[in-house]
Structure 1
Amino acid sequence: MPKDTAQELAARLIVGGSGFARTASRGVTRGFSLVAMRTLSNLKKEGGLRIGELAQREGIAQPSMTSAVNSLANAGLVTREPDPDDARAAVVTLTPAGSAELTAFRLRTADSAAPLIEALPAEDLAALTRAAELLDQLTEQLRSR
């Protein structure tokens, strides 16, 4: 595939996937921002992270991430513990309640999209199943760079 065509497809997948996720999750965050939910997701996937690392992963300023983490900590969804490598910094970790909230958020989000997916013809369902597998693979490849 020519590079410009691959670039256009990558852009469509990124925009389409982001739009799908944002639209499906609209109204199911229970008072938390999508940044907060993505923060829980990052912590579930990666383990404990510093606020600066979380901010970098989300592409937001550190004060914005501090605000999101404060909200999550006040709700008992994350904890802060001293960083063993730097006593001036803290590592944010997911609590069992945070893990449960993330799972519930994902289920509520899936519930909003499931009826539309169930209505698709078998051929489209197969294509989406394969696309989901490929997106998982591409995401892992991007993470390991």
Structure 2
Amino acid sequence: MAVSEKPAAAAAADPVPAADPTAPYAADAAGLFVAMARLNRLVRRKAPAQLGHSAVAVLATVVWSGPLRPSDLAAREGVSAPTMTRVLSGLEAGGYAVREPDPADGRASLVRATAEGAALVQGNRSARSRVLQERIAALSDEQRAALRAALPALQALSGDD
């Protein structure tokens, strides 16, 4: 037997590494990640929020989805229950959200945005949208067309069908 040959039993025991089907997209993913991070940083810098990123995200979810249980909010935002409790405490202290009894289950509560909370989300979104509008207006016609064409793919990536 040649030195490079393995006995049949040893060859069968060595699993053949499966090819990574996502490998051809690594450069695309890296470029998109960097571009999104820079765009997000630019928008946050030019139109800062009155609350932290997590609090704004939670408040926006409540505004757009309606009253939710804290546990459902935590699941949607991908955070632990204690983290959600801290975020909600801050939103309540600022007058942006309230907890009310759940009419379907008196032992549970629902988080609802106050008028001030809804206004903050809409204003924050509007200010940040204006920053993006200004940046989009500065693009060439071809770049704007490419951006419009990419929107369905970007929405699919984010899970927004």
Q: TM-score, structure 1 length as denominator?
A: 0.76
Structure 1: unaligned runs, 5 residues or longer: none
CA distance in 1: counterparts of 2:91 and 2:36, whole angstroms: 23
Give the number of the structure whose residues are more often helix, by fraction. Answer: 1
Q: What does residue 116 of structure 1 align with? A: 135
1:140 partner SS: coil
Q: Per-residue displacement from partner, 1:40-92 (whole Å, max 9, x unpaired)? A: 22112211111111111111111111111111112222111112233222100
1:42 partner SS: helix
2:139 partner SS: coil
- Among 50, 73, 77, the alignment partner of 2:69 is 50
Measured after TM superposition, the shift of residue 12 of structure 1 is 5.5
CA distance in 2: counterparts of 1:100 and 1:88, whole angstroms: 29
Aligned length: 139
Does residue 28 (structure 1) correspond to residue 48 (structure 2)? The answer is yes
The answer (yes or no) to whether the contact 1:25–1:112 under 8 Å persists in 2 is no
1:120 partner SS: coil
The answer (yes or no) to whether the contact 1:37–1:102 under 8 Å persists in 2 is yes
Q: TM-score, structure 2 length as denominator?
A: 0.69
Does residue 97 (structure 1) correspond to residue 97 (structure 2)? The answer is no
Percent identity for Structure 1 against Structure 2: 30
User: CA 1:12–1:92 in 2, change beyond 3 Å: closer, same or farther?
Assistant: farther
Bigger CA radius of gyration: 2
Q: What are the equivalent positions in structure 2 for 1:73-84 lying under 5 Å apart?
A: 73-84=92-103
User: CA 1:136–1:44 in 2, change beyond 3 Å: closer, same or farther?
Assistant: farther
Q: What does residue 83 of structure 2 align with? A: 64
Matched residue type, 2:94: A
Matched residue type, 1:47: G
